[in-house]
């Protein structure tokens, strides 16, 4: 770098924005993060009320190696910033009344559990995990770090062979059924791809790498909550010189002669920049902040994208301890039916929704007052739904009826704090396209080079990062997304 360091403006302080900013500051750039909200972290924000501490977004800590790699790049360790605890059981799957399956953290115990359901399945599990481990190694160490801007990135002969071995053209649903016959095992193996924004029918079998992350690498929890990751990343970013502007919402981007010259905040303040990295919602940046002639994609393109689901969340403070639940509980007591994709792709409310319960206070006493419980209920839903108070309440009571019946206890009368969060909140807080919670689904035709590009093709100094571009949705991919875009910036601007 020359003495006149280039200024970089990063829009958004989610995981991808923080990652991009820190990598760029580490390379000598002067970096400023502009965050619309008054608290950092994007979807991973945290709030406190009446002694309860709630992570607003991500609650699963998978792929611990990606976090170690991130902090390790700067000579740091995860343990420098937060204390990790491996959960055992990893999580609980509820199939019905008195039909709970606790998933052991120990691999041999897990294998024994599957053997009890489907005798002789052990060797099949070994082969399934062997393939999943290979996909994880190639996928996480190689494929996801590619910027996916040009087809030539994937023309290496070894990589082409790997792509065949990676089951890119087979669905996860078909792949799982090659190994397992028991319905409970199938549902268990298909569950991790929900993190990728779709169902096993439309997600490539490449993503059995998620099963390796689940079964072999384990489920973890940073004591104090997922926001501890954000706090650690902010601490590191500030150490590298990144400046933060909270409550600084961007109104528009000024472009002249194909160069983004400055961003203008809602209050009229103009911030000059040499390089612009948009970590905010890609669709919002293109369709609201940029003039039409500088957009990569038109509205028709976005309307044809397969979105990951949105969510209806309930943050609940309960004035007693809850029995028969673990830190993570998946409620599969209702079948989604043969058209499961409908809950992700068609704008209607489901009759019998699946739901997920996080009870972080089972692991972490700091997130709830003594003797009380911190619960978060999440219902995955199609994007673009109307989510008024009446329908939220309907679904609250629908899932609470099931939760109380399945766990054998009264809960609602003990709820002393309650907050709901859904599509309209995702739109107002994050400008989320169609109120999505997770970005784009990782379908075959929305993978790698087929995702929205991380580079603006009409604005020379503008880039994108986050869950609507490569590599995709989830916390680890967002960390990687920030690193990938930073490398592209450095390569093209040094």
Q: Which residue has better confidence, 16 or 443?
A: 16
pLDDT score at 3: 44
pLDDT score at 338: 43
Work out the pLDDT band at 163, boundaries 50, 70, 90.
low
Helix (H, G, I), strand (E, B) or coil at 101: strand
Question: Per DSSP, which regions of 207-354 are E strands?
Answer: 220-222, 243-246, 250-256, 259-265, 270-272, 275-278, 310-318, 328-331
The answer to pTM > 0.85 is yes
**CA–CA dist 395, 397 (Å, integer):** 5
pLDDT score at 159: 63
For 462-486, write each residue's pLDDT tens digit: 999 999 999 999 999 999 999 999 9
pLDDT mean over 209-223: 97
Q: Which two tokens stand for residue 198?
A: 């779709």
**CA–CA dist 390, 238 (Å, integer):** 43
Work out the pLDDT band at 349, boundaries 50, 70, 90.
very high
pLDDT mean over 148-166: 75
Q: Which two tokens stand for residue 260?
A: 């983004």
pLDDT score at 1: 39
Q: Which two tokens stand for residue 433?
A: 């396209």
Instruction: Show the CA angle centred on residue 373, arms to residues 362 and 89, nearest 5°.
Output: 20
pLDDT score at 2: 40
What mean pLDDT value characterizes the chain?
Answer: 94
pLDDT mean over 10-25: 98
Question: Residue 342 pLDDT more than 60?
Answer: no
pLDDT mean over 263-280: 98
For 78-123, write each residue's pLDDT tens digit: 999 999 999 999 999 999 999 999 999 999 999 999 999 999 999 9
Share of the chain above pLDDT 70, in %: 96
Maximum alpha-carbon separation in the chain: 68
Q: Which residues contact 390 (CB under 8 A, 6 or more apart)?
A: none
For 281-327, write each residue's pLDDT tens digit: 999 999 999 999 999 999 999 999 999 889 999 999 999 999 999 99
Question: Residue 447 pLDDT more than 70?
Answer: yes
pLDDT score at 214: 96
In the chain the domains, ranked by start, together with CATH numbers, are 7-80+224-304+435-493 (3.50.50.60), 125-217 (1.10.405), 307-430 (3.30.519)
DSSP state at residue 323 = S
pLDDT score at 4: 52
**CA–CA dist 89, 104 (Å, integer):** 5
């Amino acid at each position: 770098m020359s003495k006149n360091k280039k200024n970089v403006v990063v829009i958004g302080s989610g995981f991808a924005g923080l990652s991009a900013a820190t990598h760029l500051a580490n390379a000598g750039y002067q970096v400023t993060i502009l965050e619309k909200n008054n608290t950092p972290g994007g979807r991973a924000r945290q709030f406190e009320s009446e002694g309860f501490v709630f992570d607003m977004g991500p609650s699963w800590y998978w792929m611990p190696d990606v976090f170690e790699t991130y902090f390790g790049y700067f000579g740091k360790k995860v343990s420098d910033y937060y204390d990790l605890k491996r959960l055992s059981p990893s999580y609980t799957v509820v199939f019905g009344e008195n039909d709970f399956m606790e998933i052991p953290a120990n691999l041999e115990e897990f294998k024994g559990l599957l053997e009890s359901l489907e005798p002789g399945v052990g060797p099949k599990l070994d082969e399934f995990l062997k393939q999943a481990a290979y996909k994880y190694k190639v996928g996480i160490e190689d494929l996801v770090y590619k910027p996916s801007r040009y087809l030539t990135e994937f023309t290496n002969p070894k990589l082409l062979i790997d792509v065949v071995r990676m089951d890119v053209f087979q669905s996860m649903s078909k792949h799982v059924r090659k190994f397992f016959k028991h319905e409970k095992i199938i549902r268990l193996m298909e569950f991790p791809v929900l993190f990728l924004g779709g169902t096993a029918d439309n997600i490539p079998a490449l993503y059995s790498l998620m099963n390796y992350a689940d079964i072999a690498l384990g489920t973890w929890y940073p004591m104090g909550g997922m926001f501890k990751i954000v706090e650690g990343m902010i601490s590191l970013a500030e150490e590298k010189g990144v400046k933060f502007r909270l409550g600084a919402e961007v109104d528009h981007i000024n472009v002249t002669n194909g160069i983004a010259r400055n961003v203008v905040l809602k209050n009229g303040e103009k911030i000059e920049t040499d390089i612009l990295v948009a970590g905010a919602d890609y669709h919002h940046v293109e369709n609201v902040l940029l003039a039409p002639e500088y957009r990569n994609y038109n509205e028709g393109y976005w309307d044809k994208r397969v979105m990951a689901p949105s969510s209806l969340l309930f943050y609940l403070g309960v004035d007693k301890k809850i029995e028969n639940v673990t830190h993570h509980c998946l409620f599969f007591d209702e079948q989604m039916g043969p058209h499961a994709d409908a809950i992700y792709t068609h704008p209607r409310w489901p009759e019998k929704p699946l739901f997920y319960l996080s009870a972080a206070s089972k692991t972490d006493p700091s997130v709830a007052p003594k003797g009380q419980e911190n619960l978060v209920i999440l219902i995955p839903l199609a994007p673009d739904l109307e989510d008024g108070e009446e329908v939220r309440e309907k679904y609250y009571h629908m899932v609470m009826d099931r939760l109380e019946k399945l766990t054998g206890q009264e809960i609602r009368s003990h709820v002393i704090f309650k907050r709901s969060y859904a599509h309209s909140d995702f739109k107002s807080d994050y400008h989320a396209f169609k109120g999505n919670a997770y970005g784009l689904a990782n379908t075959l035709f929305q993978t790698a080079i087929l995702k929205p590009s991380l580079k603006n093709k009409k604005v020379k100094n503008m880039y994108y990062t986050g869950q609507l571009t490569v590599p995709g949705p989830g916390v680890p991919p967002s960390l990687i997304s920030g690193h990938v875009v930073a490398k592209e910036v450095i390569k093209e601007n040094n």
